[in-house]
Amino acid sequence: MDLPHIVSVLDVKGLFDSKADFCLIDVRQDWEFELCHIENSLHLPLDQLAEKLHEIPTDKPLYTLCHHGIRSGHAAILLKNAGFKDVSNIKGGIDAWAKEIDSTLKTY
């Protein structure tokens, strides 16, 4: 099986800083996304992801995000199995992002 890449929040911060063209997919539940999220992320809860594959761009790298990296790991595998080529999972999730990149985000 072709597994997704695992990247750090620092790697993703570098993508934002370099103005790279990519899609950040947040697979957390609605209440989690409302509590805190990274601007311009595509919110597709994991339990709805399989039905919403048509909403995901096919022409750019995909990065999956959840609270700590577990659900987004499942999402990344689902995306790879669905035929998406360039898929990465963000290790540590939004929790790591809040602790290492943006301390203004709420943690839970």
CATH number at residue 12: 3.40.250.10
Say whether pLDDT at 2 is over 90: no
Structure token digits, residue 92: 């540590």
Q: Please tell me the total count of domains within the chain.
A: 1
Helices 9-17 and 93-100, packing angle to 10 deg:
70
Structure tokens at 4: 């997704």
87 exposure class (CB count in 10 Å sphere: 0-12, 13-18, 19+): buried
What is the span of the domain harbouring residue 86? 5-100
pLDDT in tens, 62-105: 999 999 999 999 999 999 999 999 999 999 999 999 999 999 99
- On whether residue 106 sits in a domain, the answer given is no
Domain assignment present for 33 = yes
Q: For residue 57, is it within any domain? A: yes
Assigned domain for 91 exists: yes
User: What band does 1 get if pLDDT is binned at 50, 70 and 90?
Assistant: low
- pLDDT tens digit sequence for 3-34: 789 999 999 999 999 999 999 999 999 999 99
User: How much is the pTM?
Assistant: 0.96
